């Protein structure tokens, strides 16, 4: 492979004007992109992207300012930054790598997954517009779409996952956008992405998919024709439970307006977070292979256990989206959700008896984490409301880390035996 700076074939200008690998190069595999994608040539020749912690940037003289403003006005690639809210070289480097991984023309980094989702939807939609979301979305995304957006005159319909008829019936003259998530949190429902895109295209609608659980190693939504992909980078992309971030990736024409809007509302990430994220991304391929394999083994073990009622993992033929998984997905990630036989108290005893996973919300890091959604993420809802969302009292969400599967299974065995 040529060095990044030695042939023009490999060079491109990123948003803040740094030399980088072409983000959507079809020649490179995902693991190569995770290590090198969008790699910047920096003034120090350091192998790591410099951590540029600054609020603003200096100009040599007024002529330099005039030249910069001219480039900006004409939408030309910029070779420098102006102010911290509009750009930062470390953030640009993270964005270039994320774009490379998703096969996107451009990516924008945010301070959290929810900030990415909310800023994106506010930038794409206007008062009077309607959007359709699928059921089983991450709870706060659903809350944002059904309770927050209506305050700004944007209405929302919720349809069952993969129900073509319901999706088509929900489309109105003012529908602009379809939003889904895959695999979903916490039941690992898989979006039939082919069908989703087909319906959207028939009706000239934009499509957005939250691919947090999949990561580009298990699914590349843009390759299936989705317009915009979003992630909570807090999870697998960063991978170490040490930061919060979000990302939106897609075509220049869609991302340009979002970037402009980001500068207006100030929904930005930070250079230190971006450098940690770049570091985490380098091992994404190795981690996902391990998460996929560990979770598959644990799901199979749990499915055969007499104390377990039901397991939600798409590699199991009992999962409702097993067939879609075989056709469209390369793996299913590290989250295994399951119900134990018994009530909320018995379920809590299983969790408390586990020795290796830590009792915490979130997912996608090296450490295994477990939680009982009914007593934490959905605590304030009535049991009836929780049931309507499929959140049973005896549901456990296990975010399987990268530990040894044998140890995690032995630990589950001792915990399930105790109750
Ligand atoms: C699928 C999914 N999307 C978005 C989010 C929100 O991400 P963040 O916590 O980084 O705001 C989460 C958080 O759990 C999630 O699971």
Residue to mutate, 212, 248, 371, ligand 1, most ligand atoms under 8 Å from C-beta = 212
Q: Could you identify the atom of ligand 1 that is nearest to the CA of residue 115?
A: 11
The answer to whether residue 9 scores a pLDDT higher than 60 is no
pLDDT band per the 50, 70, 90 thresholds, residue 266:
very high
Q: If residue 19 lies in a helix (H) or strand (E), which one and from where to where?
A: strand 19-20
pLDDT single digits (tens) 58-91:
999 999 999 999 999 998 888 889 999 999 999 9
Q: Is the CB of 212 under 6 A from ligand 1?
A: yes
Q: Is the CB of 186 under 6 A from ligand 1?
A: no
Q: Is 85 a catalytic residue?
A: yes
pLDDT single digits (tens) 180-231:
999 999 999 999 999 999 999 999 999 999 999 999 999 999 999 999 999 9
20 Cα: distance to centroid of ligand 1 (angstroms) = 29
Share of the chain above pLDDT 70, in %: 94
| Across 288-310, average pLDDT | 98
234 Cα: distance to centroid of ligand 1 (angstroms) = 7
Q: Is 176 a catalytic residue?
A: no
Q: What is the pLDDT of residue 20?
A: 45
Q: Is 138 a catalytic residue?
A: yes
Given the residues 192, 210, 227, 393, the one annotated as active site: 210
**Comparing C-alpha atoms, which of 177, 115, 174, 108 is closest to residue 141?**
115
| Across 255-271, average pLDDT | 97
- Residue 163: HSE in the Cβ half-sphere, 13 Å Cα cutoff: 14
Q: What is the pLDDT of residue 93?
A: 95
Does 3 or 106 have the greater pLDDT score?
106
pLDDT band per the 50, 70, 90 thresholds, residue 18:
very low
Q: Is the CB of 273 under 6 A from ligand 1?
A: no
Q: Is 235 a catalytic residue?
A: yes
Q: Whose CA is nearest to atom 6 of ligand 1?
A: 113
Q: Can you tell me which residue has the tokens 């590290």?
A: 334
Domains and CATH numbers, the chain: 284-418 (3.90.1150.10)
| Across 286-297, average pLDDT | 98
Q: Is the CB of 234 under 6 A from ligand 1?
A: yes
Long-range contacts: 375-384, Cβ < 8 Å, 24+? Answer: 375/344, 375/348, 377/139, 378/139
Q: What is the pLDDT of residue 26?
A: 57
pLDDT single digits (tens) 36-58:
999 878 889 999 999 999 999 99
Structure tokens at 400: 């399987």
Q: What is the pLDDT of residue 8?
A: 30
Q: What is the pLDDT of residue 25?
A: 55
Q: Whose CA is nearest to atom 8 of ligand 1?
A: 113
245-268 core/surface letters (b: 16 or more CB in 10 A; e: else): bbbbbbeeebbeebbebbeeeebb
Residue pair 187/396 in contact (Cβ under 8 Å)? The answer is no
The answer to whether residue 16 scores a pLDDT higher than 70 is no
DSSP state of 154: -
pLDDT single digits (tens) 360-394:
999 999 999 999 999 998 988 999 989 988 899 99
Q: Which residues pair with 313 in a beta bridge?
A: none
Radius of gyration of the chain from Cα atoms? 22
């Amino acid at each position: 492979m040529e060095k990044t700076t030695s042939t023009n074939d490999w060079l491109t200008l990123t948003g803040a004007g740094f030399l980088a690998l072409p983000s959507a190069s079809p020649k490179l595999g995902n693991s190569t992109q995770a290590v090198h994608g969008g790699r910047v040539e920096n003034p120090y020749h350091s192998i790591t992207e410099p951590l540029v912690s600054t609020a603003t940037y200096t100009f040599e003289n007024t002529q330099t300012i005039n030249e910069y403003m001219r480039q900006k006005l004409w939408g030309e690639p910029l070779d420098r930054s102006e102010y911290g809210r509009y750009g930062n070289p470390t953030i640009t480097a993270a964005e270039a790598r994320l774009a490379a991984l998703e096969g996107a023309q451009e990516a924008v980094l945010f301070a959290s997954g929810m900030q990415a989702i909310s800023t994106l939807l506010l930038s794409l939609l206007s008062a009077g517009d309607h959007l359709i979301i699928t059921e089983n979305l991450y709870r706060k995304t659903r809350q944002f779409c059904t309770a927050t957006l209506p305050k700004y005159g944007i209405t929302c319909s919720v349809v069952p996952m993969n129900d073509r008829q319901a999706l088509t019936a929900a489309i109105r003259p003012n529908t602009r956008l379809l939003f889904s998530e895959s695999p979903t949190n916490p039941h690992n429902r898989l979006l039939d992405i082919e069908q989703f895109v087909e319906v959207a295209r028939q009706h000239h609608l934009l499509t957005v998919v939250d691919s947090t659980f999949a990561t580009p190693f298990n699914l590349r939504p843009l390759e299936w024709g989705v317009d915009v992909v979003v992630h909570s980078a807090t999870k697998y992309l960063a991978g170490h439970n040490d930061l919060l971030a979000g990302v939106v990736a897609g075509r220049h024409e869609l991302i340009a307006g979002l970037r402009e809007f980001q500068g207006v509302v100030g929904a930005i990430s930070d250079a230190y977070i971006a450098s940690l994220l770049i570091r985490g991304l380098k091992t994404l391929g190795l981690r996902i292979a391990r998460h996929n394999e560990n979770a598959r083994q644990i799901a199979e073990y749990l499915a055969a256990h007499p104390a377990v009622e039901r397991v939600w993992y798409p590699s199991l033929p009992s999962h409702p989206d097993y067939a879609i998984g075989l056709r469209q997905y390369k793996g299913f990630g590290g989250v295994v959700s399951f119900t134990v036989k018994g009530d909320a108290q018995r379920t809590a005893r299983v969790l408390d008896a586990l020795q290796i996973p830590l009792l915490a919300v979130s997912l996608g890091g090296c450490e295994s984490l477990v939680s009982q959604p009914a007593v934490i993420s959905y605590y304030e809802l009535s049991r009836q409301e929780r049931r309507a969302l499929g959140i049973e009292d005896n549901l456990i969400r296990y975010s399987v880390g990268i530990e040894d599967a044998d140890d995690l299974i032995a630990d589950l065995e001792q915990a399930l035996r105790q109750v």
